[in-house]
Amino acid sequence: MKKISLSSLLIFALSLTILSACGGGSSSTTQPSGPTKAVINIATTGTLGSGTMIGGITVTGVLPAGVTVKATPDPQNRLVLVTDSGVVIASGVTGANASAPCSSYNATDRKVTIHLVDPDGFGTGKFVAVNCDIASGTTPTAGGFSITDFKPKDLGGADISGLTPGFTVDIH
List pLDDT tens digits, range 79-106: 899 999 999 999 999 999 999 988 999 9
Q: Residue 65's pLDDT is what?
A: 97
Q: Residue 15's pLDDT is what?
A: 42
Query: Does residue 6 form part of some domain?
Result: no
Query: Does residue 5 form part of some domain?
Result: no
Return the SS3 of 116. Answer: strand
Query: Does residue 123 form part of some domain?
Result: yes
CA–CA dist 100, 88 (Å, integer): 7
On the question of pLDDT at 63 being above 70, the answer is yes
**CATH for 136:** 2.60.40.680
Nearest of 106, 115, 108 to residue 71 by alpha carbon: 106
Nearest of 135, 160, 163, 130 to residue 145 by alpha carbon: 130
Query: Does residue 20 form part of some domain?
Result: no
Query: Does residue 9 form part of some domain?
Result: no
* Residue 42 banded pLDDT, cuts 50, 70, 90: very high
Domain of residue 53 covers 33-171
Rounded to 5°, angle at Cα 164 from 63 and 169: 35
Q: Which one has a higher pLDDT value, 156 or 28?
A: 156
CB 130 within 8 A of CB 104: no
Query: Does residue 4 form part of some domain?
Result: no
- Count how many domains the chain has: 1
Query: Does residue 80 form part of some domain?
Result: yes
* pLDDT tens digit sequence for 11-36: 444 343 433 443 444 444 555 578 99
CA–CA dist 103, 86 (Å, integer): 11
**Percent of all residues in the chain with a pLDDT value above 90, rounded to a whole number:** 77
Query: Does residue 14 form part of some domain?
Result: no
On the question of pLDDT at 5 being above 70, the answer is no
On average, the pLDDT of the chain sits at 87
